[in-house]
Amino acid sequence: MKTNDVIIQFTAKIVFFIIFFFSIHIFMAGHYTPGGGFVGGLLTSSAIVLLVLAFDINTVRHILPINYTYLTAIGLLLALATAAFPMFVGKPFFTHFFDYFDLPLLGKQSLHTAMLFDSGVYLVVVGVTMTIIQTIGEDE
């Protein structure tokens, strides 16, 4: 029996973006308010899972042609590189740098290498969650 999922699919399309932007917000704001790479990554993947629920795994893979295993690896590399980078300029492993800049459009903002590290965390979390869900979902 083929069911008609038009309402859920339509809602999902909208809600996906809401959740996704919320996750980006939580990720970005993590340094000052509750949130961060971990929760951000989990929320992003839950947005993708919503798509998987509304459509199906192959469609979602078509929409988002991402290899999540690579995503995990990139995240780990990014985190490691951020941590290792200070060693090349004569600072101990895992030294962070930050300063305040006047950016166009955004105004005065702080830029922090911890953000890069957090992006690594974010990518790993998204990669791993989606790998697990995809693998189990495809398993017969």
Q: Residue 32 CB, nearest distance to other proteins (Å)?
A: 4
Does 46 contact other proteins by CB under 8 A? yes
- 96: tokens are 């962070």
Closer of 5 and 31 to other proteins (Cβ): 31
Closer of 16 and 30 to other proteins (Cβ): 30
User: CA–CA separation, 77 vs 80, rounded Å?
Assistant: 5
Does 94 contact other proteins by CB under 8 A? yes
Nearest to 134 by CA among 70, 74, 86, 91: 70
First to last CA, the chain: 20
Q: How far is CA 99 from CA 28, 106, 108, in A?
A: 16, 15, 10
DSSP characters over 77-121: HHHHHHHHHHHHTT--TT---EEEEEETTTEEEEEEHHHHHHHHH
- Segment interacting with other proteins (CB under 8 A) among 2-10, 12-20, 101-109, 122-130: 122-130
Residue numbers 16-45 binding other proteins by CB under 8 A: 26, 30-39, 42-43
Q: How many residues sit close enough to other proteins to count as binding (CB under 8 A)?
A: 43
Which residues contact other proteins by CB under 8 A?
26, 30-39, 42-43, 46, 69, 72-73, 75-76, 79-80, 83, 94, 96, 98, 110, 112, 114, 117-118, 120-121, 124-125, 127-129, 131-132, 135-136, 139-140
